[in-house]
Structures are given as C-alpha cells and as structure tokens.
Amino acid sequence: MPTSPQTNKETQDPTSQDRGKILVTGATGFVGTNLCHRFMVEKMPFLALVRSPVKAEARGLPKNSLLKGDLSCPEEWNLEEIRAVVHLGGLVRALKWKQFEAINVEGTRRLAARIRQLDPRIPFIHLSSLAAAGPSWDGSLSAHSPISAKPCSLYGRSKMLSERAVLESGLPCTILRPCAVYGPWDTDVLALFKQVNQGLGFVAGPPSRFSLVHVEDLVEAILLALNGPKEGRIVPIAFPDPVGDVEWLQLIGQAGRKKVRVFRLPLVLAAGVAWGAESWGRLRGRAPLFGRDKYRELAAGSWVGAPEAAEKFLGFRAKKKHLEGFAQTWDWYREMGWL
C-alpha cells in the first residue's frame, strides 16, 4: 500500500513502544498467561483476546486489558489501538479435522486479513509448533518451509497451513516453532509429572529424543521476535540439548525427589489406549489428552528442534536447564495443588 514520506518516527514504526497495544490471542492459555504476566512486569500495554473474562481474571489478567471474543469473528473487534500481534490462539486437540481447520487455519487467515485491513505494516508474531515441520531426529527438518514440511498429525497439518496463511497475508511476520513447552500453567506435560509423582513412567515404541523449552525462555523469544526484524522467518525454539524419552521422566523424578520406574510399552498397546480414549472422548464430545492424533506424533519417533536459527535471527538462546526448569515447575504445581 503506497504511503507518503513521514517525518514522525511513531508513524513510520508501528512497533514503537509509544503507540498502542500488543494484541495477544489465546491469552488464557498456558503460554498466553505467562506472556501477559511478563507484559505486566515490563509495563507493556496489551489487549488480551479471551473467551472467558472470568477465567482471565482468575489468571491475574487485568479487566481493562481484556477483549472478549474468538477467532471466528475478528472483524467485530475494536483494534484501533493495536501496534503488534502475538497470535497464540488455537486448538491443540480436536476430534475432527474440520475443528482444527476452522480455528487453526481459517481463524488465523481471518485474523491476518483483519490486521492487514487495519494496517499492513502491523507486525504479526505467529506461534506455530514443531508439529508443523514434522518429526526429526537431529533437528535438520525443524526449520523447513511450510511448503516442504511434512507434518504427521492433523494438528501439525493445521499449524503448517496456518503458517502459510500468515506468510500469504503479506504482513511483516515471524513464525516461531517451539518444541515441547513446559512450566507454570501447563496442563499437558502435567500428565508426566503426575505419573512420576506416583513413582511410575511410561514410554512407547523405540527410544526417541525430544527438544524441550521452559515457558520463560519461550516468552523471552517472543519478546525478541517483537523487537526484531519481521522477514517471514521460520524459527524453531528449543533448548540446545535434547533428552531421551526415558531421561525426560528420570529428570522430572530427580527434580521432585521421586524414584521412578519407567516401563517401555509396545506401540500397538499405545495405539489401543489412544483409540479407547478417543472413543470415550467422542461420547463425551471432548477431545482426550492422548487420542489417535497424538498417537501419530508419538509413533513418528523423535521431535528435535535446531536452535541455530533462533540464535542467528533473534539473538535468542534458551537458558533454563531441564533439571532447574522441572524443579521450578514441580514446586509451582505443588503450590497450586495440581500435584
């Protein structure tokens, strides 16, 4: 969109700290809650998109920073004060592809179109997932373009297509692909902590490796992406040292001072558990924590992200070592009564 030369720096730079708020979608989710709390500490004005203001206030988000709505109707939102977007909203689990498509793909496309209509210079930070790239033993595939990526799950496919939607929007953007994220407010990795708290751990299939990252490090990467160049880069976010599947559980046990016995199950048994959980979920109308889609990711093997792109383009390197992060997370779960 042609513009006339401006002498006002604030007009030239839509990311100026003096202009507007940062829109955060998925603000009451795990990463969104942590990001908004960091914004509050840094005194950075933000607008939190939430479906439930009650849940948002329970998570400590100020009432005057809330925007009630969802990704089905971004054209109805009042976004006149927005200077940047951090798009965290989306589905991690669903019973049907159409649910993933409606929220993760079309919801992202509608949001990007709304922002472009508002101002095509507004930067857009999109939180995707390593699932969009597909499995990788050494991280070599983790930064592949969404055109050449090979996701193995419906969730991964939806995140890959959401990346394409952002890139096709023409907005200045950065796409972050975090690996497995853990920390305060997380309810997915919590399942592993609960197993270990009982002295047991279960892995399935051949030995595999995983990249992990603490949510504090991910939030730092998001802040760096907001302040860095927006050139449509795909940036995996991961702590440099991957862990083996058994080592992951042992480290959680060490952090919680628990002795844990780890059992390796055949994939066929895990497939049966996934099928049974999903069948029960369909009866309840609610996607299970571990259904057939998550089984596809489990059966694919290792999920390792390469940290080099984050260091090169963002100047980011994850700092929280696994044992330290697990110990902090364990204490937080205890304090909240989640363990």
Q: Which amino acid is at 323?
A: L
Sign (positive or negative) of CA dihedral 61, 85, 174, 300: positive
Per-residue pLDDT band at 11 (split at 50, 70, 90): very low
Say which residue, 296 or 14, is predicted with more confidence: 296
Query: Across the chain, what does the average pLDDT equal?
Result: 93
Tens digits of residue pLDDT in 64-89: 999 999 888 888 888 888 999 999 99
Q: Binning pLDDT at 50, 70 and 90, where does residue 4 land? A: very low
Q: In the chain, what percentage of residues exceed pLDDT 70?
A: 94
Predicted model pTM: 0.92
Q: For residue range 193-249, list pLDDT tens digits in order.
A: 999 999 999 999 999 999 999 999 999 999 999 999 999 999 999 999 999 999 999
- What pLDDT sits at residue 72? 86
In this prediction, residue 19 has a pLDDT band, given cuts at 50, 70 and 90, of low
pLDDT score recorded for residue 9: 36
Tell me the angle at which helices 154-168 and 292-299 cross, rounded to the nearest 10 degrees.
Answer: 90
pLDDT digits (tens, 9 = 90+) for 23-47: 999 999 999 999 999 999 999 999 9
- Average pLDDT score over residue span 98-105: 97
Calculate mean pLDDT across residues 124-140: 97
pLDDT in tens, 288-333: 999 999 999 999 999 999 999 999 999 999 999 999 999 999 999 9
Find out whether 179 and 133 touch, Cβ atoms under 8 Å: no
Instruction: Give pLDDT, residue 279.
Output: 94
pLDDT in the model for residue 1:
34
Nearest Cα to Cα of residue 100 among 59, 151, 173, 141: 151
Identify the DSSP state of 326: H
Distance, CA of 287 to chain centre: 18
Distance CA 176, CA 225 (A): 9
Planar angle of CA 85, 69, 62, nearest 5 degrees = 70
Contact predicate 179/309, CB 8 Å: no
Alpha helices in the chain (DSSP H): 9-12, 30-42, 53-58, 97-100, 108-118, 154-168, 190-197, 215-227, 245-255, 267-284, 292-299, 308-314, 322-336
SS3 234: strand
List Cα–Cα distances, 249 to 195, 199, 244, 281, 313, in angstroms.
9, 10, 9, 26, 32
Are 251 and 213 a contacting pair, CB within 8 Å? no
Residues 165-169, mean pLDDT to the nearest whole number: 98
DSSP 3-state of 146: coil
CA distances from 46 to 32, 39, 321 (A): 11, 7, 29
Under DSSP, is residue 145 helix (H, G, I), strand (E, B) or coil?
coil
Q: What is the pLDDT of residue 178?
A: 98
Looking at residue 168, what is its pLDDT? 97
* 102-115 mean pLDDT: 96
Contacts of 42 (CB under 8 A, 6+ apart): 223
Query: For the domain 12-181+214-238+303-319, what is the CATH superfamily, name and number?
Result: NAD(P)-binding Rossmann-like Domain (3.40.50.720)
Give domain limits for the chain: 12-181+214-238+303-319
- Amino acid 7: pLDDT: 33
